[in-house]
Amino acid sequence: MSLPPLVAPAESLTPQEIRRYSRHLIIPDVAMDGQKRLKNAKVLCVGAGGLGSPALMYLAAAGVGTLGIIDFDVVDESNLQRQVIHGQSDVGRPKAESARDSVREINPLVNVVLHTERLDSSNATEIFAAYDLIVDGTDNFATRYLVNDACVLLGKPYVWGSIYRFDGQASVFWAEHGPCYRCLYPEPPPPGMVPSCAEGGVLGVLCASIGSIQVTEAIKVLTGVGDPLVGRLMIYDALEMTYRAVKVRKDPECPLCGKNPTITELIDYEAFCGAVSDEATSAAVGSTITATELKAMQDRGEDFLLVDVREPAEWEIVRIPGAVLIPKGDLPSKLAELPQNKPIVAYCKTGIRSAEALALLKNAGFKDAVHVQGGVSAWATQVDQTAPVY
């Protein structure tokens, strides 16, 4: 499906712009008309992280006239493996400011607009309204549903990407011409079921593979060139090195863009997508200890079983002394082997997976089981500062 250009062309290009964009101008399908449309375009990139890095850099280089950057986070050393818009000297700086500086260095002709607040239902509509198209570079379900819903309600195209380990996906959701994200995924996955990149890892260069698809699609939609990924989902497998496009259809029953929509305004997306299940939240009440309390229990010589519910690759990086490894996914099949005569203390990286494990243990009758708040990350800050953090 080809679509008309989203953006009207700017009046003219300056001689400096003509020099800078000459390799675009001599492509017949882009030419002066397409480059003038890019000059007039206003694109918002949500998140200046893994996908946002290549997206912002190439959108800037391509000559998108106005680039909005929304990010409230600061650059962490663990970001640099893939978030190439930031450098070593940016560690500790706000990502939005660091990204703006890189964009200006790539292309000073771009008008950069910074939004350093956290995107939520109270500000999304107002922020999005100023842009033609939204590129999503975030990595959590709450933001994804928020961006989708705001784009549908405002009638704007939403260029979506997702990455995990060696796998990536991308699509353009645009309710006027095809499905929205909710047509594909009506409900977020149950809490704790889908690990984030922070939990599951991501091959750094995967961000470039998927981010470049997103920029390509943004440019196509803005200029009206080619067939955009509207109604198609691109699936990339880096290990097999395959790209596969599958058709995705609009769901007539979609609560947002279907025939009888029930969602007519933005909702509370944190509650909708909750990081921790209700079951885990209630299991953790009164059954949570701190890393310091765990250390004190060890020092007193208390008899308990310390269970690490993370994955083997994480266990290899760092572990709390005295622990045994039982990844959360293996726990249901190992319940019979756990001791009934002493308490169980579970921990993970940050305390979310261990809360889920705790709910499982309590359901299986281990009533005095507890978990460690903040997990091995808290252990590294509160107890053993020499322990590596990841």
CB of 250 to Zn ion, least distance (A): 6
Cβ distance to Zn ion smaller for residue 225 or 257: 257
Q: CA-CA distance, 159 to 171, in Å (whole number)?
A: 6
| CA nearest to 347, candidates 369, 326, 376 | 376
Residues 170-209, mask of contacts with Zn ion (x by CB under 5 A): ----------x-xx--------------------------
CB of 186 to Zn ion, least distance (A): 8
Side-by-side strand order, sheet with 158-164: 111-115, 66-70, 42-46, 133-136, 158-164, 167-173, 232-237, 242-247
Residues 202-241, mask of contacts with Zn ion (x by CB under 5 A): ----------------------------------------
Sign of CA dihedral 255, 171, 194, 116: negative
Residue selected from 75, 215, 254, 307 as contacting Zn ion according to rule CB under 5 A = 254
Cβ distance to Zn ion smaller for residue 176 or 240: 176
CB of 203 to Zn ion, least distance (A): 31
Q: CA-CA distance, 371 to 44, in Å (whole number)?
A: 41
Residues 41-60, mask of contacts with Zn ion (x by CB under 5 A): --------------------
| CA nearest to 62, candidates 229, 223, 172, 227 | 223
Residue from 45, 180, 183, 197 carrying the catalytic annotation:
197
CB of 182 to Zn ion, least distance (A): 4
Cβ distance to Zn ion smaller for residue 91 or 263: 263
Q: Which residue's CB atom is positioned nearest to Zn ion?
A: 254
Q: CA-CA distance, 311 to 132, in Å (whole number)?
A: 42
Q: CA-CA distance, 42 to 265, in Å (whole number)?
A: 24
Half-sphere exposure of 179 (CA within 13 A, CB side): 21
Q: CA-CA distance, 374 to 350, in Å (whole number)?
A: 4
Cβ distance to Zn ion smaller for residue 183 or 369: 183
Active site residue 348: yes
CB of 188 to Zn ion, least distance (A): 15
**How would you class 156 by CB atoms within 10 Å of its CB: exposed for 0-12, middle for 13-18, buried for 19 or more?**
buried
Residues 255-274, mask of contacts with Zn ion (x by CB under 5 A): -xx-----------------
Active site residue 197: yes
Q: Is 355 in the site for Zn ion (CB under 5 A)?
A: no
Q: Residues of 82-108 as b/e, b for ≥16 C-beta within 10 angstroms?
A: bbbbbeeebeeebbbbbbbebbeebbe
* Residues within the interface to Zn ion (CB under 5 A): 180, 182-183, 254, 256-257
What is the set of active-site residues?
197, 348
